[in-house]
Amino acid sequence: MSAERKPAVDGPRSSESETRADATPPSRSQPLGMTPLPAASDARTENANAEGTAWLGTVLGLAAWTMFFASLAFAVGWYRMREPWPTLPVSLLGLSLTGLLLLVGSAVLHLGLRRRESPWPARGALLLGLGFLALQAMWTHQAWWTEHVRIPEGGVSASAFHGLTALHALHVLVVTFNLFLVCWRHTRGADVRASLRRHVLGWHFVTAMWVLLFVAVYLP
Amino acid sequence: MSLLSLDHKAVARRYLWSGLGFLLLGGLLALAIRWQWAWPGRSVPGLAWALPESHGALTPPTYTAVFTMHGLVMIFFAVTPLLFGALGHFVLPLAIGARGLAFPRLSALGYWVYALGGVLMLASFAVRLGPASAGWTAYPPLSTSAFTPGLGQTLVTVAVLCAGTSAFTYGLNFVVTVARCRAPGMTWGRLPLTVWGLFFASVLNVVFVPVLAAATVLLLMDRLLGTQFFIAGAAAVGGGGDPVVYQHLFWLFGHPEVYILILPAWGMVGDLVAFFSRKPAHGYRLTAGAMGTVSALSGLVYAHHLFTSGMSPLLGRTFMVLTLLISLPAEVMFLNWLMTLWRGSVRLTSPMLAALATMVVFGLGGITGLALGAVATDVPLHGTLWVVGHFHLTMGAASFLGLFAGLYFWFPKMFGRALHEGLAKVHVLSSAVLFLGVFGGQLAAGYAGQLRRLYDPYQYTYLKHLLPLNQWTTVCAFLLGAAQVVFVVNLVWTLRRGRAAEANPWQVGTLEWTCASSPPGEGNFTQVPVVLRGPHALSQPEVLEQLGRDWIGQAEVLPGVAREGAGEEALATVSTVRSVT
Amino acid sequence: MSTSVEEKSQPSSDTPTSTSTSARTLALPEDASVDGHRIDALLGWSHRFEAGMAALALGWMVVAVWRFRGSKRAASDGGTKRSRAWVLGLALSTFLVVDGALLVGSEGYLRDVLWNLDVPAKDPRTVRIEINAHQWSWEARYAGEDGRFNTPDDVVTWNDLRVPAGVPVWVQLVSTDVVHGFSLPNFRVKLDAIPGRVNQTWFRAAREGAWEVACYQHCGTSHYRMRGELRALSAEAYAAWLREAGRQAVQAYDVDDSAAHWGWEWKAP
């Protein structure tokens, strides 16, 4: 990190440029007003602190990112107010069962966090996530090829169905991948409890956003 | 090497150099626009290499690209990165007594995302059909591929998304840092106003950048995948979407964005005015509260940008009332600044001059915005250069001068060298006066009806008589550009052979000046300071009496005054802080 | 550089052009509408207030810097309860006076004019015009003598609006391609033309004359050329023009030219 400090004095000093002789090199100058009190610190609280900070960051970040989906829902809501929204040719039951996978994953992960050591809840959720993605892919595939809900012919409702499903699936993909990384690190013996706690938040987030998606786009 | 360093000061320096580079680019683009309005269709001096076919003259398509890129470069790649990326990254942890940002890797990543966006912006100039040209607002359907084909518009849209992502990351980082990493004793009531400004602006970043991301992603899908979100009713393209949705989403982000650009500057002005009046800021809580109120209201006023879009009267009236309401906290804040000057001992240093200049241009910018907040008076002024002058005074000139106030103030801390004070003053004063000339001229032209974004305004008979005015304005703009040379000279000279900065050149008590070296080392402080008082403890009688100076460090124990008492109080704070966590 | 275009599009008749009267730089464009003076007056008032505010703030700042520059002693407090109350009071009273005046004045104009479509709807003399904005021109449609749109006698003009003076003109506005902005600077009229929706507004010309139609939303490369002309005629001249143009339109009507039949059933307010 020493490269960070490029203080004026370290280099070969050109003597003629100086107006005031440096009694103390700037990088070392002890400021006048400093008589700090000793501050206690120990490693464990520091660690807990860092964990708490990361957790807060995750919570706030996800909460703020809700605005992304809220904006998408706002847009779709606007279209739905303008004109009647066509019923999706895809089975609503199938779509809700797909979403159920995320909900189940949320429950599994939530309960799994209480039972400390077992890696299985996270692995189970991993499967559920992949299953969700596969099923969503299947529904969109069916809508596109069998039911001819296409872009751009299908207008704004088809755009919303395919576009928002894809955007949400992208988020699920990221969350699932993160979960995979956590599982992987766990198998290599790392302590992942704190990071698992954070990634579970991500899972809850995509689950909640799926509900929003369902209400905004899928419901007739 | 420093390029890989995660230290907040290294990241700040990266943002500083990139931001200044883009500021130069944005400024040159602005000069090209101004040239066009003064001498339409004539060759821009020095541009022949870029536009050989027209011998350096702007053609209508180049012109549209130039003003579009000017706006985007300035907002997303110059002013925001300089205020947050450079000053925010550097000052915020130091000022609250933190050893770094809460998430150092996130902040470094944020810079690289921003840099990627910057590269895409620059690359867009080189592709066929040129860069984006649908205006910085990129209203669809114009910004869809049906009307603006070419890779440039897409690249730039992605670049904006990158800049937004980076803004989201540092916004989140700042919020969490302020919430979690303050030094013991650094209560919310002892934060410098700069930190308050950065904090509120970061909250706005975090909340509203996702809205921009949504609008931009939908637009990108319309461009690339053929979705129909914003394509409507047009014979040429069909579609069942609605371009107005984009306008709402865009301005729901866009209006808070203008506060994002000015809040850090407000905070700095609040601090600097107190520092250089050598007295505590008047109504510290009121000022911080006013900034918070403005931030809270900022997302609720956006639709005044859409007064002429045919919204329902109910919405129009609501947004008119909300918009006018936001001027109240701004007035409280401004009056507090003025009251801080009163009965002080004013020192006209270069940061103070810049802060005062910020007040002047911001004051005029705010006042000229009032008429735009009411529907009836907005009608004649909407879409004219009046609007352009108004928002350039606030988020252009005021942010710029606020930025330089901060840069002149913290430069010795950043680089350990002192800038030449005389050159700095010349730069600030000439910039301020010329800003008033440029944007005052635009206000006048706009009042007389000159519409924005016209390649040749004099196509219109009713604007013909504005040519001389525009020429004068352009002269001011070029002089303004020339004035920046003073800064560059000062910067280069100081970095190469400037004198070493004193430890506390401005004689203020905030943590970065009193507890850290210049420049601060890794971890910022040898010991994390324990804060005992607010940021503006200036001219306190007991300090004058005992220390013989008019300032005292935020973490400095006043000798004699019950060392135990003060210490215990601080330690008690420490223990409560720890027990909370 | 555009003189030839200008000269071609200047009205050939002896109607006055706007240049002759509104060549002052620091003034709004000449007001040629019946109701626009209310906006102008409101703006005038608001400018007086704003100038007052600016003078107060700037003067205060200059005096403070002048008087307290380098003074020996500085106050040690961050304001007293009283001084803070003064700040709040001053801010609140300025806000109430300045913003209040703007709000009340604006509201009056909105209620009586801008959003009061009852005036054109109830006036039997009202002229209705459908305008279709294109990249880069204004296509205007008059109902013709039968009073209905999208019929053979519709009069369609390009960049050429004609209205009778003193009579409400009710405009409904669409766009074919991108967002345009329909503005009549001399009539204090501005309205977005947005694909997929019909916007409407109305105005009254105070006197006969020729003025300009301008586009105020960036709509592509030739945005700056999207200029139209508006001529306010006497009632008789207008009626004569409409009759003659309608007669020609019927003759030129082509059933198969579907692109020309973009008109719509007049929308209720």
Q: Is residue B16 predicted with pLDDT exceeding 90? A: yes
The per-residue pLDDT for A220 is 84
Q: Is residue A6 predicted with pLDDT exceeding 70? A: no
Peptide bond into B519 cis (omega under 30): yes
The per-residue pLDDT for B561 is 58
| Greater model confidence, A112 or C214 | C214
Q: Dihedrals φ, ψ of C231, to 5°?
A: -115, 125
Neighboring chains of B (3 or more beta-carbon pairs < 8 A): A, C
Least Cα separation, residue A149 to chain B (angstroms):
12
Neighboring chains of A (3 or more beta-carbon pairs < 8 A): B
3-state helix vs strand vs coil in chain C, percent to 5: 40, 25, 35
**Beta bridge partner(s), residue C69:** B346
Query: pLDDT tens digit string along B350-396?
Result: 999 999 999 999 999 999 999 999 999 999 999 999 999 999 999 99
Query: pLDDT tens digit string along B373-385?
Result: 999 999 999 999 9
Q: Is residue B479 predicted with pLDDT exceeding 90? A: yes
Name the least confident of A4-13, B155-164, B458-467: A4-13
Residue A2 lies in a domain: no
- Select the residue from B279, B377, B382 to test the C interface by mutation, using most C Cβ atoms within 10 A: B377
Q: Dihedrals φ, ψ of C209, to 5°?
A: 160, 180
Q: Dihedrals φ, ψ of B488, to 5°?
A: -60, -45
**Angstrom distance (rounded) from CA B15 to CA B13:** 5
Query: pLDDT tens digit string along C104-116?
Result: 999 999 999 999 9
CB contact under 8 A, B7 and A1: yes
As a whole number, mean pLDDT of residues A177-181 equals 94
Q: Is residue B565 predicted with pLDDT exceeding 80? A: no
The per-residue pLDDT for A3 is 38
ipTM of predicted complex:
0.91
Residues 6+ apart with CB under 8 A from A174: A202
- Select the residue from C106, C131, C222 to test the B interface by mutation, using most B Cβ atoms within 10 A: C106
Which residues in chain A are contacts of B1 at CB distance < 8 A?
Answer: 3
Pairing mode of beta strands C209-215, B232-234: unpaired
Q: Is residue B567 predicted with pLDDT exceeding 90? A: no
Closest partner CB to B497 (pick from A17, A71, A74): A17
**Angstrom distance (rounded) from CA B392 to CA B74:** 11
Asked if residue A26 lies in contact with residue B516, where contact means CB atoms within 8 angstroms, the answer is no
Q: First CA to last CA across chain B, in angstroms?
A: 35
Q: Is residue C230 predicted with pLDDT exceeding 70? A: yes
Q: Is residue A37 predicted with pLDDT exceeding 70? A: no
Using alpha carbons, select from B424, B441, B365 the residue that is nearest to residue B396. B365
Q: Is residue B284 predicted with pLDDT exceeding 80? A: yes
SS3 C266: coil
Asked if residue A32 lies in contact with residue B502, where contact means CB atoms within 8 angstroms, the answer is no
Least Cα separation, residue B56 to chain A (angstroms):
41
The per-residue pLDDT for B581 is 35
SS3 C128: strand
SS3 B39: coil
Q: Amino acid identity, residue C232?
A: A
> What is the 8-class DSSP label of residue B450?
P
B433 C-beta neighbours (distance < 10 Å), count: 16
- Interface check B573 vs A, CB under 8 A: no
As a whole number, mean pLDDT of residues C30-49 equals 94
Residue A16 lies in a domain: no
As a whole number, mean pLDDT of residues C206-226 equals 96
Give A175: exposed, middle or buried? Use CB within 10 Å, 0-12, 13-18, 19+.
Answer: buried
E strand intervals along B78-194 = none
As a whole number, mean pLDDT of residues C41-58 equals 93
Q: Is residue B194 predicted with pLDDT exceeding 80? A: yes
Using alpha carbons, select from B77, B97, B60, B65 the residue that is nearest to residue B17. B77
| Greater model confidence, B401 or A91 | B401
**Beta bridge partner(s), residue B181:** none
Which residues in chain B are contacts of A52 at CB distance < 8 A?
Answer: 180, 581
Query: pLDDT tens digit string along A43-64?
Result: 677 778 888 999 999 999 999 9
Write the DSSP string, B484-531. HHHHHHHHHHHHHHPPBPPSSTT---SHHHHTS-SS--TTS-SS----
User: For the CA atoms of chain B, what is the radius of gyration?
Assistant: 24
Residue A168 lies in a domain: yes
**Angstrom distance (rounded) from CA B361 to CA B428:** 12
Q: Is residue B146 predicted with pLDDT exceeding 50? A: yes
Query: pLDDT tens digit string along C125-181?
Result: 999 999 999 999 999 999 988 889 989 989 999 999 999 999 999 999 999 889 999
Q: Amino acid identity, residue C179?
A: V
Closest partner CB to B500 (pick from A8, A60, A167): A8
Asked if residue B395 lies in contact with residue B261, where contact means CB atoms within 8 angstroms, the answer is yes
The per-residue pLDDT for B571 is 45
Question: How many domains, chain A?
Answer: 1
Domain ranges of chain B: 8-497, 511-580
Write the DSSP string, C56-80. HHHHHHHHHHHHHBT-S----SS--
CB contact under 8 A, B528 and A36: yes
The per-residue pLDDT for A189 is 84
**Angstrom distance (rounded) from CA B2 to CA B425:** 31
Using alpha carbons, select from B295, B258, B194 the residue that is nearest to residue B534. B194
Q: Amino acid identity, residue C123?
A: D
Closest partner CB to A5 (pick from B172, B176, B519): B519
**Angstrom distance (rounded) from CA A74 to CA A57:** 26
CB contact under 8 A, C219 and B142: yes
Least Cα separation, residue B103 to chain A (angstroms):
8
Average pLDDT, chain C: 89
Query: Alpha helices, DSSP H only, in B276-384?
Result: 284-298, 313-325, 327-341, 350-373, 375-381
H or E stretch at C175: strand C168-175
As a whole number, mean pLDDT of residues A82-88 equals 85
Write the DSSP string, B41-101. TSBPTT-TTT-TTTTTBPPHHHHHHHHHHHHHIIIIIIIHIIIIIIIIHHHHHHHHT-SS-
As a whole number, mean pLDDT of residues B183-211 equals 97
SS3 C169: strand
CB contact under 8 A, B367 and C50: yes
As a whole number, mean pLDDT of residues B287-302 equals 95
Fold held by B8-497: Cytochrome C Oxidase; Chain A (1.20.210)
The confidence band for B315, taking pLDDT boundaries of 50, 70 and 90, is very high
**Angstrom distance (rounded) from CA C186 to CA B448:** 11
Name the least confident of B60-64, B505-509, C6-10: C6-10
Closest partner CB to A28 (pick from B179, B206, B517): B517
- Interface check B179 vs A, CB under 8 A: yes
The confidence band for B224, taking pLDDT boundaries of 50, 70 and 90, is very high
- Select the residue from A17, A67, A80, A171 to test the B interface by mutation, using most B Cβ atoms within 10 A: A67
The per-residue pLDDT for B239 is 59
Asked if residue B354 lies in contact with residue B429, where contact means CB atoms within 8 angstroms, the answer is no
CB contact under 8 A, C114 and B244: no
The per-residue pLDDT for B578 is 41
Least Cα separation, residue A56 to chain B (angstroms):
7
3-state helix vs strand vs coil in chain A, percent to 5: 70, 0, 30
SS3 B268: helix
% pLDDT > 70, chain B: 95
The confidence band for C102, taking pLDDT boundaries of 50, 70 and 90, is very high
**Beta bridge partner(s), residue C200:** C172
Residue A44 lies in a domain: no
Asked if residue C150 lies in contact with residue C264, where contact means CB atoms within 8 angstroms, the answer is yes
CB contact under 8 A, B449 and C29: yes
Peptide bond into A85 cis (omega under 30): no
CA-CA-CA-CA torsion sign (B274, B278, B279, B282)? negative
H or E stretch at B3: none
The per-residue pLDDT for B512 is 95
Average pLDDT, chain B: 92
Domain hosting A138: range is 92-218
Residues 6+ apart with CB under 8 A from C3: none
CATH number for the domain including A130?
1.20.120.80
Q: How many CB pairs under 8 A join A and B?
A: 227
- Interface check B415 vs A, CB under 8 A: yes
Query: pLDDT tens digit string along A18-34?
Result: 333 333 334 334 444 44
Residues 6+ apart with CB under 8 A from A153: none
Which residues in chain A are contacts of B176 at CB distance < 8 A?
Answer: 53, 56-57, 60
CB contact under 8 A, C217 and B459: no
> What is the 8-class DSSP label of residue C217?
S
Query: pLDDT tens digit string along B520-538?
Result: 998 899 999 999 999 999 9
**Angstrom distance (rounded) from CA A75 to CA B229:** 8
Least Cα separation, residue B152 to chain A (angstroms):
23
Write the DSSP string, B379-430. HHHTTBHHHHHHHIIIIIIIHHHHHHHHHHHHHHHHHSBPPPHHHHHHHHHH
Q: Could you say which residues from 48 to 87 on chain C have a Cβ atom under 8 Å away from some Cβ of chain B? A: 50, 53-54, 57-58, 60-61, 64-65, 68-79, 83-84, 87
- C-alpha B517, offset from chain centre: 27
Residue A35 lies in a domain: no
Which residues in chain B are contacts of A40 at CB distance < 8 A?
Answer: 574
H or E stretch at C52: helix C36-68
CB contact under 8 A, A79 and B242: yes
Residue A161 lies in a domain: yes
Least Cα separation, residue B246 to chain C (angstroms):
12
Residue that is written with structure tokens 């909300």 in the block: B322
User: For the CA atoms of chain A, what is the radius of gyration?
Assistant: 27
Query: pLDDT tens digit string along B67-124?
Result: 999 999 999 999 999 999 999 999 999 999 999 999 999 999 999 999 999 999 999 9
The per-residue pLDDT for A41 is 53
Query: pLDDT tens digit string along B319-339?
Result: 999 999 999 999 999 999 999
